[in-house]
Amino acid sequence: MQIPVNSPHDDRLSAAKSACLLVAIMMSSTGALAYPSGWPSTATIPYNLGGSLDGKYKASSGKTYDGTGYIVVVIDGAFDTRNPVFKDAKGKSKIPVEACFGEALNATFPSLCKTTTWIPRPLPGNPSAGYFFSSLSGSSKPMDAPDNTCRDTNNPSKPQYCHYFHGSATAGIVVGQPTLRWDGGYKMTYTGVAPGANVITLKVGGGRGTNVSQGWPINSVVDALEYVNRALLPRADVGSKIVAVSISANGSSIAGTSPCATGGGGDRIDAAAAVLKKKGVAVVMAAGNDAVNGTGTWNCGSNVIPVGATSIVTPATPTNYTNISQRVSLFAPVGTGNFKSGDLVLAPWADSGSFYVWGTSFAAPQVAGAFAVLRQKFGKGPSVDALVKLLVRTGTPLKGTRAGLAAQGASVLNIKAALNGSPA
């Protein structure tokens, strides 16, 4: 995997690809090809979901919604919380809580948590297992760990599993403050799905169990989900506001719709998701980027919401790379990161600027952000399942040759249409 490098001066970056985290980017370039209808607004995620360039959705009642009052949790490799998109118009941080989870294995796969706090957590066959933990300010940023160096830097020679750019993008897609970008003579805007909402950033990059196909250690992902349930939901300041968890990973892509292996990563995630679901918190995951008729070893359960990606140029058509199966009923517009054709959306880059993305990593946080907007209108009364059914029912019907591989009635996210509907 190669980490891309951004120039904060002109908001450009070099081309690179990160398959293990379901992410890829394209270097900006100009061309004479026809752009999609609505260009360059189509590069702004809320615009594709029925909203305005500044991330507001107007219901038929005339009221507007942007997720204000609610919180989405994002579990990812690391986050660069210095990016201006994580502050509201008054300069207040949109990140009320952050934390780091990490299990040290060796110098190659360190804990990546700058703390000596050890949390015991027995595992089958390993009663003394545990992990490093920190919830201090800045703990979700890439940093020096107890046994390795993973500094907060844009230098691509640093350990690739820091993943700081990936987390910055996924969290920014949820709550990013509207920001301008000029490219190829076009005035563009990048805005989060729910810019009125807040985000909790939980870092799980590196540590025991890390590998190139999965990106993060499964134990850390499960630990983060347990933290949401046991530590965050009971908190008076944030607990009642949490509506969704976004995880932009799928484990290893597998064909078919077989149930999760007992005791495997997907089984463990699904069990944690079931508990959160009963408490009104949706767990949203990336479907995967391997173009298989299936999903993955981590999102195989019935209590998670796998999300696929569709094109920007040919709306409502699944991208060639997205995993797709009968488990996938929701898709979000992402495209292929191609500036020449306009088949792209913008996401925040590390500490500043933006970049073009492709991958289902950037579909999942769109759906997670939608929960904040819907809860703002409908409150905490409707169940997670009721809101998912509303999103599927009011979305744009999926089309194209691969549409039949998805769940019956599968559709592309349309938040404005959902606001004008009613949860079953």
Is residue 148 predicted with pLDDT exceeding 70?
Answer: no
Average pLDDT on 246-252 reads 93
Query: What's the CA gap between 216 and 226, in Å, rounded?
Result: 16
Average pLDDT on 65-71 reads 99
pLDDT, tens digit (0-9, with 9 covering 90-100), for 406-421: 999 999 999 999 999 9
The question of whether 270 is a catalytic residue gets the answer: no
More confident: 33 or 353? 353
6-419, which class in CATH? alpha beta
Catalytic residue among 52, 111, 139, 166: 166
Q: How confident is the model at residue 33 (pLDDT cuts 50, 70, 90)?
A: low
Query: What's the CA gap between 287 and 405, in Å, rounded?
Result: 13
Q: How many CA atoms lie within 13 A of 326 on its CB side?
A: 4
Extract the tokens encoding 79: 């986050």
Is residue 278 predicted with pLDDT exceeding 50?
Answer: yes
Q: How confident is the model at residue 115 (pLDDT cuts 50, 70, 90)?
A: low
The question of whether 93 is a catalytic residue gets the answer: no
Catalytic residue among 52, 329, 361, 411: 361
The question of whether 361 is a catalytic residue gets the answer: yes
283 with 302: CB under 8 angstroms? no
Average pLDDT on 272-278 reads 99
Is residue 188 predicted with pLDDT exceeding 90?
Answer: yes
376 with 66: CB under 8 angstroms? yes
CA–CA distances in Å: residue 278 to residues 52, 274, 282, 382, 384: 32, 6, 9, 11, 8
Residues 6 or more apart whose CB falls under 8 angstroms from that of 347 comprise 45, 169, 170, 172, 173, 176, 190, 354, 355, 357, 362
> What's the pTM value of the predicted model, to 2 decimals?
0.90
Q: Where are the domains of the chain?
A: 6-419
Is residue 290 predicted with pLDDT exceeding 50?
Answer: yes
Q: How confident is the model at residue 14 (pLDDT cuts 50, 70, 90)?
A: very low
Single-letter residue type at 138 = G
Extract the tokens encoding 139: 């703990």
**pLDDT exceeding 70 applies to what percent of the chain?**
81
Place of tokens 């919830």: 135
Helices 384-394, 364-378: axis angle to 10 degrees equals 110
Single-letter residue type at 142 = P
Catalytic residue among 76, 80, 152, 223: 76
Q: Which helix (H) or strand (E) holds 16?
A: strand 16-18
Query: What's the CA gap between 381 and 371, in Å, rounded?
Result: 13
Phi, psi of 274 (to 5 degrees): -60, -40
Residues 6 or more apart whose CB falls under 8 angstroms from that of 315 comprise 36, 48, 333, 396, 412
Cα distance from N-terminal residue to C-terminal residue, the chain: 44
Helices 265-278, 218-227: axis angle to 10 degrees equals 10
> Would you tell me how many other CB atoms lie within 10 Å of the CB of residue 185?
7
